[in-house]
A and B are shown apart, each in its own frame.
Chain A
Amino acid sequence: MAEATDPTLLGQIVRSFLNDSRTGLVTLRQAAAGDAECLRQTAHGLRGMCASVGAERMRVNCQELEALGTSGTVAGAWELLDRLQNEFQRAEAELDAVLHEDSAP
C-alpha cells in the first residue's frame, strides 16, 4: 500500500477499501447469475483498487473474473468468486487489525 503518513488518512483508505470490496462482491455475485459485461466491469474496477492498495491475491482473482467477463461468459464465475471472497476475508481480518492499531491511543 502507498505510504500514508497521516494516520486518519490511512484509516480512511482502509475503510474505503473494505467498503468498496464488500459492494463489489455483492455486484459480482449478482453479475455471476448471467451478466458477463457487468462481471467484467466490476471485476475491472476492483482489480485496479486492489492493485492500488497492494492486495495482490485479490487482484489476481479479479483479473481472472474480468477475463471471464471479457470472453462473454459467466461459466466458472462462482468458483472464482468463492476464492475472491476467501481472500477478501483474510485481507479484512488483517486490515481490521490495522484499523484497531490506528485508532488505539
Chain B
Amino acid sequence: MKILVAEDMTTARLILDMTLKKLGHDVVATSDGEEAWQAFRQSAFPLVITDWQMPKVEGPELCRRIRAQATAKYTYILMLTSLDSKPEYMAAIDAGADDFLIKPFDEDILAARLRVAERIGGLLSEMQQLQGLLPICPTCKKIRDEQDQWTRLEDYVTTRLQAAVTPSRCPQCQAARSESDRTLRSKLEHVRRDFRKTPQGPSAPDRGSD
C-alpha cells in the first residue's frame, strides 16, 4: 500500500519508514504537515500516517484538509502521537482521523491496524463500484434509489446532481419525432380529403341500435 507519512522528528520518521517498508509498503516520508499536504495534493494516497504536533501544519489540520479535498478514493488516516488523553483522541477523530495509535508503536499492532485500513479501503471501493450500478426498469426507465423506491429518472438526476433537468431531444429522437409528425399530418390530410368527397362526411361506423 502507498503510505504518506508526516513526522517532524527525524528519528521517529526513520523508524516508522523502516518499519513500514519492512511490512512491504511504499512510503513517502515528509517532515511536517505542510510538506505532507503538498505531497497529498500531487498524488492520491490510500493511507496517511500523521503525527499530531508538527511545525507549519499540525496533524488535525492536515486531517481536515484531506477530508475537505474531493478525491476519487477514500484516504484512511491514522494519527500516531504521544498525546494520549481522551480529549485528544476525540479531537483527532473529529478532525477526520480514522484511527489513533500512541507512540511508541508496537510493530505487530501497527501491522494489524494497516490490515484493517486495507480492508476498509477495499470495502469502500467495492461500495463505490456498487453505487455505480443503478437498477433501472427496462420498460418505464424508473430507477430504484437507496430507499428502495422507484423514482423517475429526471427526479433521480435532479436530486443527486443538484441540477434542474431541461427537456431537450437528442438528434435521433428529434428525427423520429419529425417522421411521426409527417405521418400524422399525411393521415390527417387523407381524412380531410375523404371528408370533402362525401357531403355527409365519412361513413360513421355501425354502432348498432341502442
Contact = CB atoms under 8 A, between A and B. Distances in A.
Contacts, number: 55
Interface in B1-51: 8-12, 14-16, 18-19, 22, 51
A104 to B, nearest CB: 22
Given A5-B22, A51-B82, A52-B104, A44 B11 contact: no
A42 to B, nearest CB: 10
A12 B105 CA distance: 19
Instruction: Give the interface SS of chain A, mostly helix, strand, loop or mixed.
Output: helix
Nearest to A6: B18
A52 B81 contact: no
B103 A9 contact: no
Contacts of B94: none
Contact residues on B (Cβ < 8 Å of other chain), bracket: 20 to 34
Interface in A14-49: 16-17, 19-20, 41, 44-45, 47-49
A72 interface: no
Given A45-B53, A51-B82, A54-B104, A19 B15 contact: no
11 contacts: A3-B107, A12-B14, A19-B10, A20-B9, A41-B53, A44-B83, A51-B103, A52-B11, A52-B103, A52-B104, A52-B105
Given A13-B11, A48-B9, A49-B12, 17 more contacts: A2-B18, A2-B107, A12-B14, A13-B18, A16-B10, A19-B10, A20-B10, A20-B11, A44-B83, A45-B9, A45-B53, A48-B12, A48-B82, A52-B9, A52-B12, A53-B15, A54-B104
